Amino acid sequence: MSHIHDTCRPERCGNCLSRRNFVKGCAGAMALGAGIGRAEAKDNPSTRPVRVAVVFLSNSKGREMWPYPNFDCEPRERAVLSKLGKGCRPVEFVRVTVKSRNDAGKALALKDSVDGYIVYCMTLSFGLRGVLNKVVQLGKPTIVADEVLGGTAIFLLGYSSAARRKLPVVGVSSRRDEDLVAAARAFAILGEPGVAPEAFVKRCGEIYRGTFPKADKTPCKDDKLVLTDIDQCVKRFRASHTIIVGRGKPGTVYNCLGAKATCCSFDELKGLYDKVDPKAADRWADRWSKQAAKVVEPKPDVIRGAGAMYLATVELMKRHKADTVTMDCLGGFASGKLPSYPCLGFMQLLDDGLQGVCEAQTDDSLSMIMARILTDRPGYVSDPAIDTSRGEVIYAHCVATTKVFGPGGSRNPFEVRSLHNRDPHGVCAQSFMPAGYMTTTFRTRYRSREMVIHQARTTGNVVSDYGCRTKPRARVVGDIEKLMRQWDRYGWHRVTVYGEVKAPLIAFGKALGLKVIEEA
């Protein structure tokens, strides 16, 4: 899709499509799809016109919003609809815009007058996932499509849930609009008498898979890694201590696979924040500003506030003898209980061999602990997005390490940025992580005692206003379509660590009593 640019250039990276190959691939997919419509109509005079409702889930009002707050959905909707109309001429498309749950009736009312649906997940508004569920439950042939780094959470969770229930859906998640157009041409077969929804799914899936790039055998860069013995990993894991700030009753202690997690209040953190020496906070703000390639949006006083929050967080961790902190940062700041965002401070903790984890997520924190203990490298929590046009995952978030190879490793470039929500009081690091390395991505679910895992080779960083600030991208090892089809069972987040460590992480997980699921 034209809204995203990459730091990786085709002439420099063997993983990228050249313009010639890109055009050739698109033309082939378009010809395949178009041939279906023309051949079916020619060979079957009884075919009738096909009508498809295109339901745009489009609400960009709200602070915590992808692609970004107040994104103008209207031009993008018109562009997508225009491409569908021009590329699928045997099919008539009916546009429906859904901005809230209350608009669901507009989409459902068409069930008897359309042959199928495209549900286009334009923006991150979790309330609209229910609308997606209602549409797919109609049992009509349906494509669920993602505006990559826009409606991604709704797409991944909603599509995978529908696919797991064996509803007649095909998921399309590509930054190349032509891939959606090619897949949508399969609707033409619904003009034939007696075509079952399952036949549409089969045909549409075949066409869509035809747009995927060929298997990539590019070797990874050498990455010398010394791993901790698994027995020692388990011992250190069970000796770890996480504090959860802003969620749960203060003082509550959880046993998480043998590790300890304690709930703390925002008031306790605020008390420490108020005692921070302003000059010490200034020194951290100055240090980060000088280390960064540039400071883009944040003002100096905002960066100083981040310095004070970092020092307060360190004191809180010392008080509780904790090596990991996770915080309801967005909720805390929105409610006025958190005086500054912790994101730059979390970057520093990660770079120094400790852990700061977003959103008061215990499962993410446990995964981060596992990554650090096994590899002596920081994990990176993200909200992943899928781009099948490159066979890649984009791992997006606003908290990131700048030392992916551990505290003793080199620092990759970063910029000081505002958050994805464009809050002028927000500040984080946009980290440009190194390309060419194997990464292992996983997530534990300690209550269900499960761990999911996949691998991907880093290929560059996405530079775009869409989504969160840090966005490394990586070529998936395995079946990217399989990866899309079971996401809802394990939540949106994943944790990525640099290194070829799938086998030892699986061994670590099993030693903790986890069932391990290879998701790609």
Instruction: Write out pLDDT tens, residues 153-203.
Output: 999 999 999 999 999 999 999 999 999 999 999 999 999 999 999 999 999
Indicate whether 166 belongs to any domain. Answer: yes
- Residue 143 domain-assigned? yes
What does the pLDDT average to over 88-113?
Answer: 96
Do 350 and 491 belong together in one domain? yes
On the question of pLDDT at 58 being above 50, the answer is: yes
Q: Is 335 among the domain residues?
A: yes
Instruction: Answer whether residue 223 is part of any domain.
Output: no
Domain membership of residue 126 (yes or no) is yes
| CB of 456 closer than 8 Å to CB of 478 | no
Say yes or no: 188 and 259 in one domain: no
Q: Under a CB-based contact definition with an 8 Å cutoff, are residues 66 and 123 in contact? A: yes
Residue ranges making up the domain that contains 482: 230-518
Residues 204, 81, single domain; the answer is yes
Residue 8 predicted with pLDDT over 50: no
- CATH number for the domain including 264? 3.20.14
Residues 279 and 309 in one domain: yes
Do the domain assignments include residue 326? yes
* 324-327 sheet: strands from edge to edge: 253-256, 259-264, 241-245, 324-327, 355-358
Give the lowest-confidence range in 1-10, 117-126, 242-251, 436-445.
1-10
Q: Residue 126: its pLDDT value, please?
A: 84
Task: Give 326-363 pLDDT, tens digit per residue.
Answer: 999 999 999 999 999 999 999 999 999 999 999 999 99
The reply to whether 214 falls in a domain is no
Residue 102 CB burial class (10 angstroms; 0-12, 13-18, ≥19):
exposed
The C-alpha atoms of residue 390 and residue 14 are separated, in whole angstroms, by: 12
177 & 242 share domain: no
Q: What is the dihedral of CA 435, 180, 137, 113, to 10 degrees?
A: 170
Q: Are 265 and 205 part of one and the same domain?
A: no
User: For position 164, which CATH number holds?
Assistant: 3.40.50.2300
pLDDT (tens digit, 9 = 90+) per residue, 377-412? 999 999 999 999 999 999 999 999 999 999 999 999
Report DSSP state, residue 255: E
Does residue 200 sit in the same domain as residue 257?
no
- Per-residue pLDDT tens for 270-282? 999 999 999 999 9
Say whether both 466 and 503 belong to one domain.
Answer: yes
Q: Is residue 418 a part of any domain in this protein? A: yes
* CA 79 remoteness from chain centre: 24
Residues 333 and 235 in one domain: yes
Q: How many domains does the chain have?
A: 2
Task: Verify that 290 and 146 share a domain, yes or no.
Answer: no
Distance CA 388, CA 393 (A): 8
Same domain, 128 and 277: no
Is the pLDDT at 37 greater than 80? The verdict is: no
Residues 152 and 274 placed together within one structural domain of the fold: no
Tokens found for residue 402: 């700048």
Q: Which residue has the tokens 């897949």?
A: 183
